[in-house]
Amino acid sequence: MTTMTAQEALAAYEAARHRLPDPVTATSAPRRVDTLAGLARDFDAFFLDAFGVLNVGETAIPGVPDRIAALQEMGKRVLVVSNAAGFPQDRLLEKYARLGYDFADDDVVTSRKALAAAVGAGTGRRWGLMVSDGMPAAEFDALDHVRLRDDAAAYETPDIFLMIGSATWTETRQTLLEEALIARPRPVFVGNPDIVAPREKGFSLEPGHFAHRLADRTGITPEFFGKPFANIYDIAFARLSADIPKSRILMVGDSLHTDILGAQTAGVASALVTDYGFLAGQDPAEAMAQTGITPDFILPSP
């Protein structure tokens, strides 16, 4: 698996800033809190990123399953709001249960769902799917589609390309896609804007990484679904009771460019996790100064 360092990942996000929403200028310094327990009175709904907040790779972050269960027992609405486009919903629910979390189907909102809502039935179009080998297309199966692998001919027929999962994406496939788009420009929908995701060792390269590379080479501007863009938050808001105002919603994440910037785009408060995920072992103050993106709260651990 190809990976990046934290500094390389931060630089990659900064290089793509012109395709991301603008940050909201902070009016005060972030408030430091030990864990989410210290914010339970301030908010009625918690939107949680997955990688770097609930888990790192295939491991739950210590103590977090119990803290999330405590929030749920208090009657708080707790949703996973994640750019986990590569996995069908049933596999995500199985994973979270295995890690010790209790989430219902409606509790998990992903960029995959935002992408599927935009695609709809896809009638009358041919779709090219970047889906990890061995992973079911699930809700995209009904589309007239071809999976993008190593056959150059597969890149010629689609009317639209969907970038969903990149676990088995290769430089050969990236080159085939870029050359096909140079030869005949077509729309590109990206189901995961993340450039990287934190794993046990380094950061894996996600669809956003390949989408920005594609845009730089071809001049085609992809359409992104997921954080930091508003489309995923529209789905999350629809899962909440109408009596929960945005002022009582907190987005918790480990990434300035997706979670914190996304919260600002959506008009909700944000909390940055610093000891796990993207910023683990890094200086969060330096990262905030470099990016100009500042959360409302800073938490060492969720």
* 84-109 confidence digits (pLDDT tens): 999 999 999 999 999 999 999 999 99
Residues in the chain predicted with pLDDT less than 50, given as ranges, are 1
**pLDDT recorded at residue 2:** 60
Give per-residue pLDDT as tens, 127-147. 999 999 999 999 999 999 999
Q: Which domain holds residue 189?
A: 114-224
- 121 and 146 both lie in a single domain: yes
Which structure tokens are listed for 171? 């430089």
Beta strands in the chain (DSSP E): 3-4, 31-32, 45-48, 55-56, 59-60, 77-82, 108-110, 127-130, 145-147, 160-163, 188-190, 196-198, 203-205, 223-224, 249-253, 269-273, 297-299
**pLDDT recorded at residue 40:** 97
In-domain check, residue 12: no
Say if CB 295 and CB 264 are below 8 A apart.
no
Which of 174, 202, 224 is where one domain is finished?
224
In-domain check, residue 56: yes
* Positive or negative: CA dihedral 96, 206, 220, 18: positive
In-domain check, residue 37: yes
Count structural domains, the chain.
2
d(CA 166, CA 2): 11
- 189 and 133 both lie in a single domain: yes
Overall pTM surpassing 0.85 (yes/no) = yes
Say if CB 244 and CB 279 are below 8 A apart.
no
Which of 179, 206, 224 is where one domain is finished?
224
- 120 and 208 both lie in a single domain: yes
